[in-house]
Amino acid sequence: MLRSLTQADCAAWQQLAQAIHDAHAHSAPFSPQASLDAFHGSVDCSGTQLMGTFSESGTLVGYFRLRPGRRSELLGAGGVHPDHPGRATGSLLMTAMLEQARRTAGGATRIRVSADPADRMWTDAVLARGFAADGGAITMEHTLRGLPSMPPPEGFSIAPLDPAHQPQVMLALHNEVFADVPGAHHWSAADWQEQMLAKPQLRPDLSFTISHGDRPVGYLHAEEWPGERREVWIARVGTRREYRQRGVAGALLSHFLSACARAGFEVAGLAVALGNPSRPENLYTSLGFHVESRAFDYVLPLR
């Protein structure tokens, strides 16, 4: 049986999330809080559809989630209980997800689905429908214990971000820094307004600019989203090309992590696009971040 999940399915969802997690080779332990955050963030969020499939005995054995994304895309995700005869469940979920996507597409022209490569049942169900691989990301977390201590290199100083100060300079810095990062798009002044000045989740007090003399050369933008655990999210971090490999981002991140620990956060997280040519995951690992999850992206036109 397939139906929308409600708050009453919370415990069943946690068991499913734990079983899927335990079946895969994650380096991080299962986080009950993160699974609850994902559940509540989907059930309570308008525009997001979270559906589950149940065995004859009433056990939740798989799910899919659909929500609107950027660039005329719907975003899909899902998973199958490792003990359940996988192919049939994965295939059933995929059929239902695609039907639902076509019914509720609105202006969306394609669907993007992420899949943990270790979840063979879900990945096989995606590939069997002719989805094409299109990038992906790893999510990394820092538990804000064992904090690194990296002072800024000589001549550099770190200050809290004032999003309204020199917006053109900061926008140009952002566009320069992310020019060759896959999946990043060029920001307009309107994007700056939307993503920085008007974004309630932005934490300017935990966002920083690093300058060489008076010249801003790097930055870190932090956001806080509602959830059951206090997690701060690194939305963006970057260094001008000519200042890289000198410890600029390392110092920014070290400063940021200490500020987050002082502010009472439990965890700091970020996502790294697969194929990012600056390979930031090495730096993050050396600062104490660990890989929380991996996901490949697959896309399919919605006809």
Residues of the shown chain interacting with ligand COA in the complex, contacts defined by CB under 6 A: 177-178, 181, 237-239, 244-250, 270, 272, 276, 278, 280, 282-283, 286
Beta strand 267-273 with 132-142 is: antiparallel
Nearer to ligand COA by C-beta: 123 or 239? 239
Minimal distance, residue 223 CB to ligand COA, in Å: 14
Nearest CB to ligand COA, comparing residues 34 and 177: 177
Measured from the CB of residue 74, what is the shortest distance to ligand COA in angstroms?
24
The dihedral sign for the CA sequence 256, 262, 263, 268: positive
Instruction: Measure Cα distances from 13 to 39, 265, 288, 296, 300 in Å.
Output: 7, 25, 30, 22, 27
Nearer to ligand COA, 258 or 278 (CB): 278
In terms of CB distance, is 119 or 141 closer to ligand COA?
141
The amino acid sitting at 153 is P
> Of 171 and 249, which CB lies nearer to ligand COA in the complex structure?
249
Q: For the CB of residue 8, give the shortest distance to ligand COA in the complex, in Å.
A: 37
| Residue ranges of E strands in 39-131 | 49-54, 60-68, 73-80, 110-115
Q: How many CB atoms lie within 10 A of CB 37?
A: 17
Distance CA 121, CA 91 (A): 9
Considering the complex, what minimum distance in angstroms separates the CB of residue 238 from ligand COA?
3
For residue 75, report the phi and psi dihedrals to the nearest 5 degrees. -105, 125
The nearest distance, CB 215 to ligand COA, in angstroms, is: 14
Whose CA is closest to 254, among 141, 144, 140? 144
Q: How far is the CB of 129 from ligand COA (least distance, A)?
A: 30
Contact 190, 243 (CB under 8 A): no
Q: What is the C-alpha separation between 279 and 298, in angstroms, rounded? A: 22
Closest approach of ligand COA to the CB of residue 173, in Å: 10
CB atoms within 10 A of CB 186: 10
Of 81 and 221, CB closest to ligand COA: 221
| Residue nearer to ligand COA on the CB measure, 78 or 280 | 280
Cα separation, 47 vs 42, in Å, equals 9
Q: Residue 77: which of 301, 234, 296 has the closest Cα? A: 296
DSSP 106-140: TT--EEEEEE-TT-HHHHHHHHHTT-EEEEEEEEE
Q: Which is nearer to ligand COA, 104 or 286 (CB)?
A: 286
Q: How far is the CB of 244 from ligand COA (least distance, A)?
A: 3
